[in-house]
Amino acid sequence: MRILMLSWEYPPRIVGGISRVVHGLAQKLGAQGCDVHVITCWEMGTREFERDENVNVHRLHSYDVTPNNFVDWVLHLNFAIVEHATRLINETGKFDIIHAHDWLVAFAARVLKHAYSTPLVATIHATEHGRNWGIHNDTQRYINNVEWWLAFEAWRLIVNSEYMKNEVMSVFKIPNDKIDVIPNGVDLDKFKGYEKDMEFRRKFARDNEKIVFFVGRLVNEKGVHVLIDALPKVSQFYNDVKFVIAGKGPQLDHLKWKAESMGVAHKVYFTGYISDEELLKLYKCVDIAVFPSLYEPFGIVALEGMVANVPVVVSDTGGLGEIVEHGVDGMKSYTGNANSLADSILEILHNPDKAEKMKKKALEKVNSIYNWDKVTERTLNVYKAILDESKQVKWGSPILREEVGKLN
C-alpha cells in the first residue's frame, strides 16, 4: 500500500505533539511493508529529501514570498506541497491513501484528493474551538472553518480520544459513524539505555530535593500557571522539592514573573529549550511528572512519563483523563484547581510504596494499549476499509462526466 502523509511538522521539527505521532505511525507503517512518503516543512539543518529508516521524507521550503501573516504562510506551504506532490505522483505513480494531519495541510490534501481520485483520511489532533474555549476573532473563525472543511472532505476522520470524538461531533456536526478513535502510540524503547545520572541531575536540584517535572509548550492551555500556584502548598507539606519546568513558549517570561512575585522562584527551575537527548536523561532523574493542562485532546507526554517509569499527575480533562485511572496508574486533579493538583502531588511524595505500584500498573497499560504496533494495525484496518469502499464509488463531478460523455 502506498501512503502519502501530509504534516507541517516531522522530526527534527517539533512544534507540538503531531510531529512525534506522524513519525511513530509512518515508521511502523513502513516497517510493515507500506511505501510511505511524508511531505512536510523544511527545518534548518535537514535535507530536502532523505530516507528516514522506513519512511521517505520530503521537506519543502514555503514559497519565497514574504507572507503577511501565519495564515498566508500556511497557504504558501500548501501550494508548495501540491507542486511537489504532483511531480512525485507523476514520476512514481498514484498513492492509495492520502493522510492529512490537521488543518495546516487541508488545502493541499483536498486538491490532491480530487486531482488524483485518491481517498483522503484526516486526523484531527485538536480544534481551534477547543484550544480557545470558543471562537472569538476572525483568525480563529477562519481556522475553525478550514478544520470543518477538512473534516467534510475526508473519507474518514481519525481522532485520538473519545473526548476528541465528542468535540468533533459537537463543533463540526460530523456523524458518529464517520469517526474512528485510535489513540496515539508511544515508543516503548524510548528510554532504553538511559539510567539516573546524579551528576546531570544536580544541574536542576540538590540530591535531597524531589523533582516535580513538567515538559511542554509554555502556553495557557498547558496549565503551567496552575502548577506554580500549587507550589506553596506542596512546599508547605514537603519542603525538599524542586519544580523543573522544561520547554519554551510565549508565557515563559510571565511564568518567571509569577514565581518571583509569589516568592517561590528559588523552588522553580526553568530550563527553556531542552534537546531530546537532555529530555530523555532528565526523565530518568525526576520523581513526578505533572501535566496540568486546561485543554488536552490526548496527552502523549503522560504516556512518555509512564514509559520512563515516573509516576504521573494529570488534570482530569480531555484525553489525559482517559489515559490515567486515578490512584491506580497515576493521579488526577480537578482541572485548573491548584489545591487539588497540590494534593495529588503530595499523595505521591508521601506514599512511595503507592507510587511504585502505580508506576508498575502504568507500564502494563502502556504496553497493552498504547504501543505503536497495535495503533498501526488499527490504522491499517481503516485504510483497507476505505480502499474497499472507494472501489464502489465513481470519482469526479457528475456534471463533468456528463459533459465529457457528450463530447465522446
CA angle 161, 165, 166 (to 5 degrees): 120
Task: Check whether the bond before 12 is cis (ω within 30° of 0).
Answer: yes
Measured distance CA(43)–CA(22) in Å, rounded: 16
pLDDT of residue 394: 79
pLDDT of residue 402: 58
The runs of H, that is alpha helices, within 154-238 are 162-172, 198-201, 224-237
The runs of H, that is alpha helices, within 246-337 are 252-262, 276-283, 300-307, 318-323
DSSP H/E element including 72: helix 70-92
CB atoms within 10 A of CB 32: 14
pLDDT of residue 265: 95
pLDDT of residue 404: 54
Q: The whole model's pTM is what?
A: 0.85
**Half-sphere exposure for 175 (CA within 13 Å, toward CB):** 5
pLDDT of residue 403: 56
pLDDT of residue 399: 56
Residue type at 191 in one-letter notation: F
CB atoms within 10 A of CB 277: 9
**Cβ(304)–Cβ(283) under 8 Å?**
yes
pLDDT of residue 407: 59
Angle between helices 338-350 and 224-237 (to 10 degrees): 50
Cell of 126: 485538536
Specify the residue for cell string 525526576: 286
Task: Walk along the chain (408 residues) in steps of 10 and give the mean pLDDT of each run.
Answer: 96 85 95 96 90 94 84 93 96 96 96 95 94 92 96 95 93 94 90 92 95 93 96 95 95 96 96 90 96 89 92 93 93 96 97 95 92 93 94 70 57
Angle between helices 252-262 and 224-237 (to 10 degrees): 30
pLDDT of residue 64: 77
Shortest CA distance to 233 belongs to which of 253, 213, 262? 262
CA angle 405, 107, 90 (to 5 degrees): 60
What residue ranges define each of the domains in the chain, with the CATH number in brackets?
2-185+373-407 (3.40.50.2000), 198-369 (3.40.50.2000)
**Cβ(36)–Cβ(380) under 8 Å?**
no
pLDDT of residue 139: 93
pLDDT of residue 397: 61
Measured distance CA(225)–CA(214) in Å, rounded: 11
Measured distance CA(346)–CA(164) in Å, rounded: 30
CB atoms within 10 A of CB 204: 18
pLDDT of residue 16: 74
